């Protein structure tokens, strides 16, 4: 980390849920100068992480954000939380498990809601798993054994660019060594770039996934399908696919937001989990959600260890309560139930629907983020933070639940602290103010 050029090997990427751990990053004078083995998104992040950085804490005064001391920002944040009856603590998927741990402690202390970005990505997946359970495995198992891969409602070439080369179709496993030993089926509304690589592409009509999965379940059971087509897919083809699924040795179904974000949501996932459960009476099959952010799975795990629930947790009653649809961030904001918010490593102003965002910008807003984002522009108190996996280390969970350590590669800019330090300082100040009765 000095003036000499040094290369870090087996670096864990902190972009998507693949958490690829084979990157080579060359650093000189505390700057990343070269990146090898990374995808386009990861390379872009590692070479541009200093773009649009926030370099000092800020407080909104007379309608404008202006620089302030770190101490003043901590004091202002603690006072906002102290005045609130139902604050929302949201984000947590682009930071470390250790920061999430402090976040849960803070949420309990302030008696607020804590939710992570799961509620707007794979929340319905978790609801489906509550109902059905999941037959899962690590990505290593898939790499070594899977002879049939399905991507349903996901497009890894764009969203998880190295998923196919590291874990599925193009990977070299112990028992499946080449592309010719694997079959790829893609189900999507669009003929995506992933679909172009498939042995079989099934184009389903928009919002007909549930019907198609149900028909496939019927075909796997050996039941007759009376319709000529389901969801735009001919019955003959559905029966052919069912035969392919039954006759494989080790099948892996990966699914994305095509199932969770379309009407039906958790019911679509419920159907996919049920299909895989059914298939396990005939052969070996696993199902793995394509998690988006690099530590969204870690946020679920830490919150589950600490509260019993993976996201959308309500501490306003004095004990953890969980009911997605009621205690999840978008619902709380749409109903106008929160009176302040602390956003950590997330950009809900860009990602939440308009009405929920209007209510978010109407309440006192504290944001901890390395970069300038629309959420930062709408905030009242802003803390610049160090990037996990580049400027600070931390534990992250890959999409299949394997924990990995994201390392520190360079020093953060002067006076830029980690999420953990900032959250601990806010918690400490909050406790002091509360004890003093202010």
Partner 1 sequence: MPKIQVTLLTGRSLGQGRAKEQGKLSELYLESVACCEVQHEDLQNIGLEYGNNIRVTSNHGSVVVKVVAPTQPLPRGVVFMPYSIWATQILGSDTEGTGMPTYKCIPCTVEPAIDEKIMSIEELTKKFPRKRSRS
Indicate whether 351 belongs to the interface with partner 1 (CB under 8 A).
yes
Nearer to partner 1, 15 or 242 (CB): 15
324 binds partner 1 (CB under 8 A): yes
Q: Which one, 190 or 431, has the nearer CB to partner 1?
A: 190
Nearest residue to 297 via CA among 309, 310, 287, 307: 310
Subset of residues 387 to 416 that bind partner 1, contact rule: CB under 8 A: none
Q: By three-state DSSP, how is residue 119 classified?
A: helix
By CB under 8 A, residue 67 contacts partner 1: no
Nearer to partner 1, 146 or 333 (CB): 333
Of 112 and 123, which has the nearer Cβ to partner 1? 123
Sign of the alpha-carbon dihedral angle for 61, 64, 66, 69? positive
Please name the helix (run of DSSP H) or strand (run of DSSP E) that holds residue 382, with its range, or none: strand 381-384
Q: Give the chain's end-to-end CA distance (angstroms, integer).
A: 44
193 sits near partner 1 (criterion: CB under 8 A) = yes
Q: Which of these, 50, 17, 49, lies nearest to 117 by C-alpha position?
A: 17
Q: How far is the CB of 291 from partner 1 (least distance, A)?
A: 12
Alpha-carbon distance 199 to 196, whole Å? 9
Contact set for partner 1, span 78-107 (CB under 8 A): 79-80
Site residues (CB under 8 A) for partner 1, limited to 300-319 = 311-312
- Pick one of 357, 367, 392, 395: the residue that binds partner 1 (CB under 8 A): 357
Q: Phi and psi (nearest 5°) for 35? A: -130, 130
Residue placing its CB nearer to partner 1 in the complex, 195 or 218? 195
Shortest Cβ 56–partner 1 spacing (Å)? 17
The answer to whether 202 contacts partner 1 (rule: CB under 8 A) is no
**How far apart, in whole angstroms, are the C-alpha atoms of residue 148 and residue 242?**
12
**Is 192 among the residues that bind partner 1 (CB under 8 A)?**
yes
Q: Whole-number minimum distance, CB 66 to partner 1, in Å?
A: 12
419 binds partner 1 (CB under 8 A): no
Q: Is 120 in the site for partner 1 (CB under 8 A)?
A: yes
Tell me how far, at minimum, the Cβ of 116 lies from partner 1, in Å: 11
Fill in the DSSP letter of residue 167.
T
Of residues 153 and 173, the one with the C-beta less far from partner 1: 153
CA distances from 433 to 78, 191, 422 (A): 8, 57, 16
By DSSP bridging, strand 183-188 and strand 200-203 are parallel
Residue 107's CB is within 10 A of a number of other CB atoms, namely 26
Q: How many residues bind partner 1 (CB under 8 A)?
A: 78
Among positions 22, 24, 28, 41, the unique one binding partner 1 when judged by CB under 8 A: 41
Residues contacting 171, CB < 8 A, separation 6+: 143, 164, 165
Q: In whole angstroms, give the CA distance from residue 208 to residue 193.
A: 21
Q: Which of 86, 165, 203, 316 binds partner 1 (CB under 8 A)?
A: 203
Q: Is 48 near partner 1 (CB under 8 A)? A: yes
Does residue number 265 form part of the binding site for partner 1 (CB under 8 A)? yes
How far, in Å, CA of 358 to CA of 336, rounded? Answer: 9
For residue 205, the 8-state DSSP code is P
Q: Pick out residues in 272-301 that bind partner 1 (CB under 8 A).
A: 292
For residue 239, how many other CB atoms are within 10 A of its CB? Answer: 18
With CB under 8 A as the contact rule, which of the stretches 99-107, 164-172, 376-384, 418-426 interacts with partner 1?
Answer: 376-384
If one asks whether residue 137 binds partner 1 (CB under 8 A), the answer comes out as no
Binding part of the chain for partner 1, among 5-13, 23-31, 361-369, 392-400 by CB under 8 A, reads 361-369
By CB under 8 A, the residues from 208 to 247 that bind partner 1 are none
Footprint (CB under 8 A) of partner 1, residues 159-188: 159, 161
CB atoms within 10 A of CB 289: 30
Q: Which of 294, 352, 383, 430 binds partner 1 (CB under 8 A)?
A: 352
Q: Is 178 exposed, middle or buried (0-12, 13-18, 19+ CB in 10 A)?
A: exposed
Q: Which residue from 353, 405, 428, 432 is in contact with partner 1, where contact means CB under 8 A?
A: 353
Please state the closest distance from residue 295 (CB atom) to partner 1, in A: 16
Give the C-alpha separation, 390 to 378, whole Å. Answer: 26
What is 27-76 written as a DSSP string?
Answer: EETTEEEEEES--HHHHHHHHHTTTTB--S-EEEETTEEEE--HHHHHHH
């Amino acid at each position: 980390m000095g003036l000499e050029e040094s290369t870090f090997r087996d670096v864990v990427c902190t972009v998507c849920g693949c958490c690829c751990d084979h990157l080579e990053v060359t650093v000189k004078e505390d700057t990343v100068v070269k990146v090898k083995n990374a995808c386009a998104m990861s390379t872009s992040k590692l070479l541009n992480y200093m773009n649009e950085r926030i370099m000092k804490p800020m407080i909104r005064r007379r309608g404008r954000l202006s620089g302030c001391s770190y101490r003043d920002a901590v004091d202002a944040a603690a006072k906002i939380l102290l005045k609130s009856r139902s604050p929302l603590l949201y984000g947590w998927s682009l930071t470390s498990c250790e920061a999430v741990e402090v976040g849960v402690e803070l949420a309990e202390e302030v008696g607020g809601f804590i939710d992570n970005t799961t509620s707007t990505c794979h929340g319905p997946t978790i609801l489906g798993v509550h109902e059905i359970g999941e037959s899962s495995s690590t990505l290593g198992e898939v790499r070594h054994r899977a002879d049939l891969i399905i991507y349903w409602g996901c497009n890894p070439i764009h969203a998880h660019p190295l998923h196919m080369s590291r874990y599925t179709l193009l990977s070299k496993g112990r028992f499946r060594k080449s592309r010719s030993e694997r079959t790829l089926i893609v189900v999507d509304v669009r003929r995506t770039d992933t679909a172009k690589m498939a042995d079989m592409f099934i184009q389903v009509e928009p919002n007909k996934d549930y019907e198609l999965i149900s028909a496939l379940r019927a075909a796997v059971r050996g039941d007759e399908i009376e319709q000529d087509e389901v969801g735009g897919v001919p019955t003959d083809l559905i029966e052919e696919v069912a035969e392919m699924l039954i006759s494989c040795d080790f099948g892996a179904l990966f699914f994305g937001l095509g199932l969770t974000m379309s009407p039906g949501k958790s019911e679509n996932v419920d159907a996919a989990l049920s299909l895989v459960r059914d298939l396990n009476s005939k052969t070996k099959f696993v199902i793995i959600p394509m998690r988006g952010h690099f530590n969204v799975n870690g946020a679920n795990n830490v919150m589950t260890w600490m509260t019993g629930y993976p996201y959308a947790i309500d501490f306003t009653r004095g004990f953890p309560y969980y009911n997605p649809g009621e205690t999840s961030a978008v619902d709380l904001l749409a109903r106008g139930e929160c009176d302040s918010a602390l956003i950590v490593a997330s950009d809900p102003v860009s990602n939440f629907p308009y009405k929920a965002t209007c209510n978010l910008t109407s309440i006192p807003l504290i944001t901890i983020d390395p970069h300038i984002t629309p959420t930062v522009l709408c905030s009242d108190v802003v803390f610049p933070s160090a990037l996990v996996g580049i400027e600070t280390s931390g534990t992250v969970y890959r999409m299949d639940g394997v924990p990995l350590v994201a390392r520190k590669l360079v020093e953060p800019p002067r006076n830029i602290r980690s999420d953990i330090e900032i959250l601990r300082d806010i918690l400490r100040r909050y406790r002091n103010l509360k004890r003093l009765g202010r």
